[in-house]
Amino acid sequence: MSRETELDRQVLAIFDRLKVQDEKLTEWIVTVLRAKAHDTQEATVRRQEDLQRRATEARRQKDRLLGLRVAGEIGPQTSAQKSTELPGR
């Protein structure tokens, strides 16, 4: 039996023990779980958007840095130093 199959079996066994007879309580639990899942999804979307924004800004900064280097406005040492700082953000 694979680990995944065994884990599925164990989780289903836990759910069998958690059966609630009170219909109102069951509805409340479902409502809470859906709300938590929704909140988690929204937080994930916000985090993805933030990371995308940061990546876009880092690309813009890298492009500006390259432009300054090509134009001779900064030297190779400054360019290399700033280039290594960008990925860390």
- Identity of the residue numbered 61: Q
What's residue 75's pLDDT? 86
CA pair distance 89, 15, nearest whole angstrom:
43
CA pair distance 75, 30, nearest whole angstrom:
61
Whether this prediction's pTM lies above 0.75 is answered by no
Q: How confident is the model at residue 88 (pLDDT cuts 50, 70, 90)?
A: low
Residue range 3-48, pLDDT digits in tens: 889 998 998 898 888 777 888 998 998 999 999 999 999 999 999 9
Tokens 């995308």, residue?
52
Q: How confident is the model at residue 85 (pLDDT cuts 50, 70, 90)?
A: confident
